Structure 1
Amino acid sequence: MMLQRPSADSSGPGFTPLVVVELASDTKEEAIAWLLSRIRDQQHNGGAELLVEQLGPGVEGQEKENPNMFVVGASWQRLLSGAEDVGLFKEFSDGSMRGFTCANKHNFKDFKGDGDDFLSMAECQYIIKHELDTLRAKDETHVPGYTQVKLYPGKSIIRRLQSKGILIQFFPLHEKEELKRLSFSWYKKMKLSFQPLDDIRHYYGEGQALYFGFLEYFTIALVPMALIGVPYYLFDWEDYDKYVVFAVFNLIWCTVILELWKRCSASLAYSWGTLSRKKAFEEPRPGFHGVLGFNPVTGREEPLYPNAKRQLRIYLVSLPFVLLCLYLSLYVMMIYFQMEGWALSVYDEEPTFWTGILLFIPSIIYAVVIEIMNLIYRYAAEFLTEWENHRLESSYQNHLVLKVLVFNFFNCFASLFYIAFVMQDMVLLRQSLATLLITSQILNQFMEAFLPYWLQRRRNKKMIHKVRKRRTLEDKELPLAEQVRLEAEMSTYLGTFDDYLELFLLFGYVSLFSCVYPLAAVLVVLNNVTEVYSDAFKMCHVFKRPFSDPAANIGVWQLAFEAMSVIAVVTNFALIGMSPQVKAYFPESETQLILWTVAIEHGLLAFKFILTFLIPDVPKHIQIKLAHLEFESLEALKKKRLVASWLSDHQRGCELQC
C-alpha cells in the first residue's frame, strides 16, 4: 500500500493512516465514542487533536473479524507541532543537528515548501504514539461503560485501557513501497558491503538501527580474530598448550573494540540527532499499580507503591529464587560431567568410530538443556520482575537484564570455567566449547529464523489465500482494511533484548576461551552474517512494524559487554599462567607464578581503565559541535533575558510617567 503524505487540512475527509488502534471486540459503544472524542478533541481541551477513522470490512467471508479497529493519522501542521513537543532533532542549514521548532522551521535543511518530506514515516508514527501516550483523563472517574475501570485526573488513558485489556494493541503500519526498497538493499541481494543503516534508521528508528550497527561492527571486529585463528588452529591442532600468544591478543582485542564502538555509536547518534537529545520524562509503566496518591514531582494523582515493599520483594523472593536457579544449573552441570566421564570410559574400553561419536553426545545434550533452561528462566524472570512492581520502564528493564544476564552467564560458562580451572583439561575445554557454541548457534537459528517464519505462515495462510483469490499480492495494491488485518495478525516485535543477549553470550565465548579454540571467532562471524539476513527478514515480513525508539546508544548492554571484557582479562591471564610455556619460567615456585600472574593481570586491568579515560567516548569534532550549540543556546538565553529585562524596565518607566 502506498501511503500518501498527511493533509495540511485537519478537516479533510481523507488522511494518511499511520497507526492502528485495536480495541476488544466486545468493547462497549460509550467507551469507544469517549476514546475517539478524546483522540479527536483539540489540544487546549485536553485532546490529542489527531485524525481517526474506523476500519471498514476486510476480506469477504470473515464474519469473525474484529469491528473495533481504527486507523489514526494527523494533519501535517499537527505533526510538525508534535515534532517540537517530542524534542526531535533535525539537520540545520549550517549542517549541525538542532532541536526542531515550528517558529524556525524554514531554517532546517530539508524543510522545503510546506515541509511535506521533512519528517520520515517512522518519525510521524512516533509522534502519534507520543500524543496517544500523553492523552490524559480530565474529570472522568471511570471509563464510560466500565464503572470498575477507575480514572483520575492526569491518568494516562491509553495505559489504563491497555492494563485492563480494553485496548488490545496499537502499532504503526508498514509502508509497502518503502519496505520493498529497504528489503532489496538490506537482505534480498547477497553482497559484501555495509548494511544500509541510514535506511534502517529512517524506517525503524534509531534503536533498531543501532542494534544492527553494533551487530555489523561486532562482526567486522571479529574478522582479525578469525584470520589469526584459522592458521593458529590448523598448525597447532594437536598442541593444546600453545595458546599464550592468542590469549594476549584476545584480551587486548576485547578491550579496544568496546572503546572504539563508543566513538562509532556517538558518531551515528549525532548524525541521527539523538546524541544530545534530552530524555523524555518517564511515565509510570502500564502494569504499575498501587494506592492512589499525589506525586509531588508531576503534581498529579497516580498510584504510589512503597519502595521498602519493593525492596523486600527483591531481596526476600527474587534474590533467593535466582540463587536457587543457579544451584539447579550447577546440579545439571555436575550431571553433565558424570555423562562425560561415562562416555570417556566407554571410549577407552572400545575405541571405535561410534564410541568416538559418543564422546560428543553429552556436550550436545548439555547445550540443548542450557537453551531450554535459559528459556524457562527468562519467563520466570519476567514474571518476578513484573511482580516486583517497578514504576518506570527503565527500572523494570534494568532489573530484568540483571536477572537474565547473571543466570545466562552462569548457565552457559560455569562448565567451561570448571573444566579450565578445576579439571585443567584443555582437550575437554576445546571440545566442550566447540560443541556448546555450534549447538547453541544451530538452536538459535532454528528458533529465531525458521520457527517464527513457519508459525507466521501458518497463522496468515487462510487470510492470504482469500486475498489472493481476488488479486495478486506482488502485482497489485492491497486494500487498507486487508493490509491492516493482515499486519494485526503478525507477531509483535518484543524489542532487541534477546538479540543483544545472544550477542553478549557469543562475545563471551570468543573473549573468554577462544584462545584454546581459535575457530570460535570464525563460527561467530558466520553466525552473525546469517543473523543479519534472518533478523532483517523477520523485521520486514514476520513482525509488526515497531515504533521508533530514539536511542543514543545501546544502553545497559554497553555496561554488560564491558563487564564481560573485564572478566575476559582475568580469564585469559589465568589461562596464560596455567600454560606450560609460562610455568617453565617458574619451575620451583608455584606461588611466585601466581603472584606474577596476578600482578600483571592487575596491571593490565589498570591499563584497561586508563585506556577508557584516554579514548574519548565522543570524537573531538562532535564535541566541538556540541559545545558550539551549547554556547549558542546560552547566548540566546542571555539575549532573551536582556530583552525581557528591557521591556520590563520600559513598561515600569511608562507607568511612572503616567
Structure 2
Amino acid sequence: MTNMVILFTGAELLVNQLLFPAQDDQKSNPNVFVVGSTLQRLLNGAEDVGLFKEFQDGTMRGFTYANRESFKDFNGDGEGFLSDAECQYIIKHGLDTLRAKNEQHVPGYPKLKLYPGKSVVRRLQSKGVLIQYFPLHNKEDLKRLSFSWYKKFKLSFQPLDDIRHYFGEGLALYFGFLEYFTFALVPMALIGIPYYLFDWEDYDKYVLFAVFNLVWSTVFLEVWKRCSATLAYGWGTLSRKKAFEEPRAGFHGALGFNPVTGREEPVYPSSKRQLRIYLVSVPFVLLCLYLSFYVMMVYFDMEFWAINTYHENPNIATSILLFVPSIIYAVVIEIMNLLYRCAAEFLTDWGEPEILLFNFVNCFASLFYIAFVMQNMVLLRQSLATLLITSQILNQVMEAFLPYWLQRRRNKKVHKRMRRLMGDKELPLLGQVQLETEMNTYLGTFDDYLEQFLLFGYVSLFSCVYPLAAVLVVLNNITEVYSDAFKMCHVFKRPFSEPAANIGVWQLAFETMSIIAVVTNCALIGLSPQVKAYFPESDTQLILIVVAIEHVLLAFKFILAFVIPDVPKHIQVKLAKLDFDSLEALKKRVSTHLHMLWKYSVLNKTKHILKP
C-alpha cells in the first residue's frame, strides 16, 4: 500500500497508516489511512478552492495567501483561521483533484486502468479498491455542539454558525430553513386553533383562512430568500463561484474533451442518454404512477366500505373503523415512496426530479380527488389529518429511533470486537475509526428537504379545510430539529462539507408548490357554499370570477416577488463595493503594467540613441 501513500502525497497531504492487530482473517485487517494536511497547505488550498473570508473592513473577500494579514481573525500563523468543515473540504478537494497524467494501471491491480484526466480516488472507489473515505468526528467539538444544539430543550434559535463550522454551509442552510419554516408556521397555527375550534361542525367556512393561506405562502418564500442571502453572505458563499463538478464515481465511457475544463474526461453520448430516458426512465415513471393511482382507488373502495359499515351500525367500533382505511393508505404511501426511491437510484443516480414527481402524486392525488371530484370536505379533512399524523409518526420512527437502535447494536458489536483484538491496549483513534466505519452514511439533504416540501404542500394546499395542519407541522418540525441534530451527531458518519449559497433547486420546487397552492385555494373558495350562494343560477359566471381572481392573485404574487429584493440592501451595497474595489485593483494592475512597458520602451530607445 506504499503506492497509495505516494498517490495521496502527490496532493501535498499528510498520510498516516493505522495498523490493526494481526488476525487470521485477512479481510478483517483493512488498510486504513488517516489523511491530514499542514497549515501552510490548508491556507494555500483555501485560495485554490476560492474560500471567501471576512476582510478587515467587514466585507467578504476571496482569500489569498499573499494578503492573509488583511483578513479578520487571521492571527499569528493562521491557526484557527479555517473552520473544521473548511479544512476537511480543502483536503477532500485535494484528493478529488488527483488525476492520472498518463494511461497506466493501479499498482498491484494490473487490470485496473487509470485513464488520463480521470480522478484517481473516484476510480479506486468505483472499482472497490477504496472502500470508503470520510472525515472523522472531532469529539471535543462535537460534544460542545451537541450541548448547545439539542441536549437541552430551549425556545431559542439554533447555533447555525457552529453547525456551519462543523458540518459546512449546505447542512447549516437546511437547519436554517427548517428553523425558519417552523417559526413562519406559528402565525398560521395560532390562527388555525381558534378557527378549528369554533368551526368544528361547519366544514365549509374556510374562505377567510384560504385567503390568508394565499398571502402566507407567497410572503414566506420571499422573506426566506432574504434570510438565505444574509446567512450565505456571512458565511462567504453568496459571491463564491461554484466549482466545476467532477464526473461521478462509477461513471464509465469513452474519453472525450471537456470544452469548459479543457480536460479529457469520460463522456456519455447524448443519443444513449436520450434512449435511456425514453426507454427506461419514462416507462418506469408511468408504471409507478399507474400503480399509485390503482392503490388510491383501492383506498377509496375501503373508505366507502368503512362509511357504509358505520351508517349501518353506528357504534364505537365502527367509528374507529372510519380511520383505518386512511391509516393503511398513509402507511402504503410511505412504503411506496421508499420503494420508488430505491428503484430510481438503482436505475439512475440522477433520479431526483422523478422521485419528487412521484412523491407529489403519491401523497396528494387522493386529496385532489376528494376535494375536486368527490367535493367531500368532511372526508378531505379526515384524510388530511390521518395522512399528516401517520406520516409524521412513521418518519420519526424510520429517521431517528430505528437508526439509533441499529447504531447502538453496531456499537456494542464493535466494542466487543475491539476488546477482543486489542485487549488492554489503548488505541483510541483506531477504536474511533472502527466505530465510525460501522455508522450509516448520510446521503445528503435531499430526503430532509423532500419531507419539508411535502409538509409545506399539506399546509399550503389544503389546510384551509383542516386548520390544525399548521399546528401538527410545527410540532413535527420541533421534534425534527432535535431528531435530525441527534442523528447527524451520533447516527451518521460525518458528511463532507459542501459549500452552498442557497437551498438550490428546492427554492424552485417550493415556489412551484406555492403557485399550485394559489390555484387550489381559489378552486376551494369557488366550491364553498358561501360563495356559491351569490351565484345560484350561473355556475359559468362563478367559474369565470374564480379564474379571474386566481389570475389577479398570481399577478400579485409575481409583483410581490419582483418588489421584494432577494438580497437585502446593505448586502447589495457590500457586494457592489467589492465589485468596485476589484475593478479598481484591476485598473491599477493594468496601469502599472503599461507604465512599466512604457518605461522599458523609453529606456531601450535612449540606449539606442546614446549608442556610439
Please tell me the TM-score bracket, short chain as reference.
over 0.9
C-alpha displacement of 1:288: 1.9
Counterpart check, 1:605 vs 2:574: no
Worse overlay, 635-644 or 294-303: 294-303
1:33-48 equivalences under 5 Å are 33-40=2-9, 47-48=10-11
- Secondary structure at the counterpart of residue 414 of structure 2: helix
C-alpha displacement of 1:151: 1.6
Partner of 2:97: 134
Partner of 1:456: 407
The answer as to whether partners of 1:367 and 1:435 remain within 8 angstroms in 2 is yes
Following the alignment from structure 1 to structure 2, what is the Cα–Cα distance between the partners of residues 86 and 370? Answer: 43
1:335-374 equivalences under 5 Å are 335-374=298-337
1:25-424 equivalences under 5 Å are 32-40=1-9, 47-57=10-20, 65-386=28-349, 396=350, 400-424=351-375
The answer as to whether partners of 2:127 and 2:250 remain within 8 angstroms in 1 is no
1:409-440 CA-partner distances (Å, limit 9, x unpaired): 10000000000000000000000000111100
Counterpart check, 1:541 vs 2:504: no
Letter in 2 for 1:440: S
Following the alignment from structure 1 to structure 2, what is the Cα–Cα distance between the partners of residues 352 and 478? Answer: 65
The answer as to whether partners of 1:267 and 1:618 remain within 8 angstroms in 2 is yes
Partner of 1:579: 528
C-alpha displacement of 1:306: 1.2
Distance 1:654 1:154, change over 3 A: farther
C-alpha displacement of 1:465: 4.5
The answer as to whether partners of 1:59 and 1:482 remain within 8 angstroms in 2 is no
Following the alignment from structure 1 to structure 2, what is the Cα–Cα distance between the partners of residues 66 and 647? Answer: 63
Following the alignment from structure 1 to structure 2, what is the Cα–Cα distance between the partners of residues 518 and 269? Answer: 34
- Secondary structure at the counterpart of residue 544 of structure 2: helix
- Secondary structure at the counterpart of residue 168 of structure 1: coil
Counterpart check, 1:441 vs 2:441: no
The answer as to whether partners of 1:343 and 1:358 remain within 8 angstroms in 2 is yes
C-alpha displacement of 1:61: 11
The answer as to whether partners of 2:20 and 2:29 remain within 8 angstroms in 1 is no
The answer as to whether partners of 1:463 and 1:486 remain within 8 angstroms in 2 is yes
Following the alignment from structure 1 to structure 2, what is the Cα–Cα distance between the partners of residues 511 and 428? Answer: 18
C-alpha displacement of 1:35: 2.3
C-alpha displacement of 1:314: 1.1
Distance 1:594 1:612, change over 3 A: same
Worse overlay, 314-323 or 572-581: 314-323
Partner of 2:459: 510
The answer as to whether partners of 1:58 and 1:485 remain within 8 angstroms in 2 is no
Following the alignment from structure 2 to structure 1, what is the Cα–Cα distance between the partners of residues 252 and 427? Answer: 42
The answer as to whether partners of 2:204 and 2:377 remain within 8 angstroms in 1 is yes
Correspondent of 1:642 among 571, 575, 591: 591
1:108-159 CA-partner distances (Å, limit 9, x unpaired): 1110011111111111111000000001112242112222221232221011
Following the alignment from structure 2 to structure 1, what is the Cα–Cα distance between the partners of residues 243 and 261? Answer: 13
The answer as to whether partners of 1:55 and 1:67 remain within 8 angstroms in 2 is no
The answer as to whether partners of 2:23 and 2:29 remain within 8 angstroms in 1 is no
1:461-540 equivalences under 5 Å are 461-465=412-416, 479-540=428-489
Worse overlay, 120-129 or 315-324: 315-324
Could you list the runs of 5+ residues in structure 2 that have no partner in the other structure? none
Could you list the runs of 5+ residues in structure 1 that have no partner in the other structure? 1-31, 41-46, 387-395
Partner of 1:44: none
Distance 1:190 1:310, change over 3 A: same
Distance 1:166 1:60, change over 3 A: closer
The answer as to whether partners of 1:452 and 1:542 remain within 8 angstroms in 2 is yes
Following the alignment from structure 1 to structure 2, what is the Cα–Cα distance between the partners of residues 655 and 143? Answer: 55
1:549-560 equivalences under 5 Å are 549-560=498-509
Letter in 2 for 1:585: Y
- Secondary structure at the counterpart of residue 167 of structure 1: coil
Q: TM-score, normalised on structure 2?
A: 0.96
Letter in 2 for 1:309: K
Following the alignment from structure 2 to structure 1, what is the Cα–Cα distance between the partners of residues 275 and 353? Answer: 17
1:548-574 CA-partner distances (Å, limit 9, x unpaired): 111000001110000000000100010
C-alpha displacement of 1:466: 6.0
Partner of 1:10: none
The answer as to whether partners of 2:302 and 2:325 remain within 8 angstroms in 1 is yes
The answer as to whether partners of 1:59 and 1:463 remain within 8 angstroms in 2 is no
Distance 1:314 1:576, change over 3 A: same
